[in-house]
Amino acid sequence: MATWRPDPTFYPSPRMAMKAPAETLAYVASFDPTRLVPDAISVVDVDPGSSTYSQMVGTVPMPNAGDELHHFGWNACSSCLCPNAPHPHSERRYLIVPGLRSSRIHILDAKANPREPKIVRVLEPAEVAERSGYTRPHTIHCGPEGIYVAALANAAGDAPGGVFLMDHESFDIRGRWEIDRGPQRLAYDVWWHLGYDTMVTSEWGLPATFENGLDPEVLLGGRYGHKLHFWDLHARRHTQEIDFGAENQLVFELRPAHDPTKAFGFVNSVISLKDLSASIWTWYREGDAWAVRKVIEIPAEAADPEALPPMLKGFAAVPPLVTDIDLSMDDRFLYVSCWGTGDLRQYDVSDPFAPKLTGTVRIGGIVSRASHPKAGKDALNGGPQMVEVSRDGRRVYFTNSLYGAIDEQFYPEGIDGWMVKLDADPAGGIAFDRDFFVAWPKTHRPHQVRLEGGDCSSDSYCYP
Amino acid sequence: MTLQTAWPWLTFAGLGLFHGLNPAMGWLFAVALGLHRHSRRAVLLALPPMAAGHALSIWLVAASVMAVGAVVNAPAIHLAAGSILMVWAGYHWLYGHRHRVRVGMTAGIGGLAVWSFLMATAHGAGLMLVPALVPLCASLPTVGRASLLVSLAAVAVHTLTMLVATGLIAVVVYEWLGLAFLRRSWINFDLLWTGALVATGLVLIITA
């Protein structure tokens, strides 16, 4: 229902969004890797003044088991204030929660009780496939034409994956987004530069190559995604493809600058076939086209094969496995999750072509099994994975599971879920909040985090 | 000119002011372009194409009403136009949020004109002028030069007031006010707009 004044969580510019009040709740996708117990959206109290700080205060179980909740997002956000397609009186109220494995999409209303959102609609897999032509819905972004969903496969579970649109008020699926997809076949993440009318998409692989875990043959053959795609956001046409080379496998998370006048962004490649390193690339505008440059390379660390899972024994090294990155609202700090080694790194990217490492913490890790002040002496498994940054840039949250079937390939005993928080110094530097450690229920593992009112990977802006 | 003859023209001007005030009709886009291109010139240059797109949309409605009004009697045109307005209001309320977006922040002069034309048309901006147009065409015997001139004059009065309002707000916001106030002060123009469409439709039907 429309309101009389704009939703107070909508901000015209990232500069104004940085002044938003601190979040008090975090929503976390939580899934059962055995697919016996229904997945859930867990609600974590992140208000340091609250008596239940650092505790799970709500759980919203899905109606079915085996969805594999992964990424999710809001129905509406700051892009509703855009001048060319204004919807300022929509509400940021509903969480759009897809099951990556089931292709079912759940709509949760968080307005009446933010600690216990209510499921108000479920779009069944057959309806999603029929209306959108796609399955395996992944990234959710609120944007100029409603809700954009990146999906990894077509209705038959095969190539091409792509993007479809949902109505941000009725949640009906409006259909495939692309008018001309050009050479694009694989899909993963989606985001855009509103100031340049440009959409960007990245690549993972097809369900057959990840739903039973990463396929070493496909990986070593360089056949997972290794390209970026650029699109005309309003004409819905593919305009350019940039190939990182087959050695740079799994081109994942897209983090365009929040300032709409800046034409650059960051993306991670999880692993290099050359030396198991991981890399971060900057894409940028060069003349009339987009270009990329590798700006960070994180090397693998030598390790005793005894301490390594079967998949890595032959390499005698731990790959950093950079599986997620996140950019602060002022486009100054880039946070980098090294799920393999256990590092969570902070880089100053004021110069997007010359990042400077300004902080590192280590927790979990395939070999290091580093602990946390509040977890006592327990060795922790899993590693920094989905990372989310508060709008003011002072708090960083992350969880430790990547994907059910892949977790066991790198952490063979399985993953005991946890969520932690870092305090970030505005001048650079990060440290654990010693009071914040959420041990996950044994039945479930945590994945993406969304913060109440918006965060650094939820909203896009039309004004600098 | 008595009040009797002046009121249609005052209405065109008043509605121009109303349309100009609505952030979705142009001033906000002009401000955004100025902020992107760091130039007040960009704010000002955005105004003429937007006014042109708006004017064309309004004129198409005005000319149609004048043309139909010359051959159909006044009560019939009141009923027809009133019904169209009511339906339009309903459509706008239910589906106004799901328009295809065709023009973005890299828009040029042509893009802005097209955007403004589509915005005005989809919002039924021209339909709001109908109650003031009908008495004017009733005073003209046939379609011809005279009715063309009257419709053009109506559009000119409306568009000029809208342009002045749009330009003033855009420059004031760009130069002094900034955009923070939008968070509190961007009242629901869609609601007002739908109300205006319904009210206009009712007036037309009642006076049929």
Specify the pLDDT at position B184: 87
* Chain A hits for B179, Cβ within 8 Å: 12-13, 16, 463
Specify the pLDDT at position A236: 97
Residue A170's pLDDT band, with cuts at 50, 70 and 90, is: very high
- 3-state secondary structure string across chain B: CCHHHHHHHHHHHHHHHHHHHCHHHCHHHHHHHHHHHCCHHHHHHHHHHHHHHHHHHHHHHHHHHHHHHHHCCHHHHHHHHHHHHHHHHHHHHHHHHHCCCCCCCCCCHHHHHHHHHHHHHHCCCHHHHHHHHHHHHHCCCCCCHHHHHHHHHHHHHHHHHHHHHHHHHHHHHHHHHCCCCHHHHCCCHHHHHHHHHHHHHHHHHHCC
Specify the pLDDT at position A215: 97
Q: Which residue has the higher pLDDT, A139 or B129?
A: A139
* CA gap A366, A399 in Å, rounded: 15
CB A355 within 8 A of CB A349: yes
Return mean pLDDT, chain A: 97
3-state secondary structure of A151: strand
Q: Of A46, A75, A42, which is closest to residue A60 (Cα–Cα)?
A: A42
Residue A1 has pLDDT above 60, yes or no: no
Residue A196 and residue B184: Cβ atoms within 8 Å? no
Specify the pLDDT at position B141: 62
Q: What is the pLDDT of residues A346-383, one digit of tens each?
A: 999 999 999 999 999 999 999 999 999 999 878 999 99
Specify the pLDDT at position B131: 85
Please tell me what DSSP assigns to residue A72: -
Residue A85 and residue B101: Cβ atoms within 8 Å? yes
CA atoms within 13 A on the CB side of A385: 27
Facing B183 at nearest CB: one of A3, A10, A234: A10
Return mean pLDDT, chain B: 90
Rounded alpha-carbon distances, angstroms, from residue A358 to A204, A281, A334, A424, A430: 29, 18, 10, 10, 8
Residue B1's pLDDT band, with cuts at 50, 70 and 90, is: low
Residue A83 and residue B29: Cβ atoms within 8 Å? yes
Residue B142 has pLDDT above 70, yes or no: no
Residue A314's pLDDT band, with cuts at 50, 70 and 90, is: very high
The residue of chain A nearest to residue B32, with distances taken between CA atoms, is A463
Mean pLDDT on A390-413 = 97
Residue B98 has pLDDT above 80, yes or no: no
* Chain B hits for A13, Cβ within 8 Å: 179
Mean pLDDT on A53-64 = 98
* CA gap A100, A35 in Å, rounded: 13
| Residue keyed to tokens 């909508």 | A10
Interface check for B95 against chain A (CB to CB < 8 A): the answer is no
Kind of pairing, strands A162-166 and A146-154?
A: antiparallel
CA distance B132 to chain A (A): 29
Rounded alpha-carbon distances, angstroms, from residue A233 to A14, A134, A393, A456, B148: 20, 19, 28, 21, 40
Facing A83 at nearest CB: one of B28, B99, B102: B28
Window from A377-391, A401-415, B118-132 with minimum mean pLDDT: B118-132
Mean pLDDT on A452-457 = 98
Facing A84 at nearest CB: one of B101, B190, B191: B101
Residue A105 has pLDDT above 60, yes or no: yes
Residue B70 has pLDDT above 80, yes or no: no
pTM score: 0.96
CA distance B123 to chain A (A): 13
3-state secondary structure of A63: strand
Specify the pLDDT at position A96: 98
Say whether domain A14-451 belongs to CATH 3.30.200.20. no
Residue A234 and residue B101: Cβ atoms within 8 Å? yes
Window from A101-110, A286-295, A368-377, B138-147 with minimum mean pLDDT: B138-147
* CA gap A61, A55 in Å, rounded: 17
Amino acid in position B199: A
Residue A387's pLDDT band, with cuts at 50, 70 and 90, is: very high
Residue A84 and residue B99: Cβ atoms within 8 Å? no
* Separate counts of helices (H) and strands (E) for chain A: 5, 30
CA distance A369 to chain B (A): 46
Residue B73's pLDDT band, with cuts at 50, 70 and 90, is: confident
CA distance B170 to chain A (A): 12
Q: Of A51, A47, A56, which is closest to residue A446 (Cα–Cα)?
A: A56
* CA gap B170, B161 in Å, rounded: 14
Interface check for B94 against chain A (CB to CB < 8 A): the answer is no
Residue B188 and residue A4: Cβ atoms within 8 Å? yes
Residue B97 and residue A13: Cβ atoms within 8 Å? no
Q: What is the pLDDT of residues B15-45, one digit of tens each?
A: 999 999 999 999 999 999 999 999 999 999 9
Residue A2 and residue B23: Cβ atoms within 8 Å? no
CB A402 within 8 A of CB A420: no
Amino acid in position A230: F
Specify the pLDDT at position B65: 83
CA distance A308 to chain B (A): 51
- For A141, the token pair is 């972004």
| Residue keyed to tokens 């339906």 | B87
3-state secondary structure of A73: strand
CA distance B4 to chain A (A): 36
* CA gap B203, B169 in Å, rounded: 30
Window from A15-19, B47-51, B86-90 with minimum mean pLDDT: B86-90
Interface check for B21 against chain A (CB to CB < 8 A): the answer is no
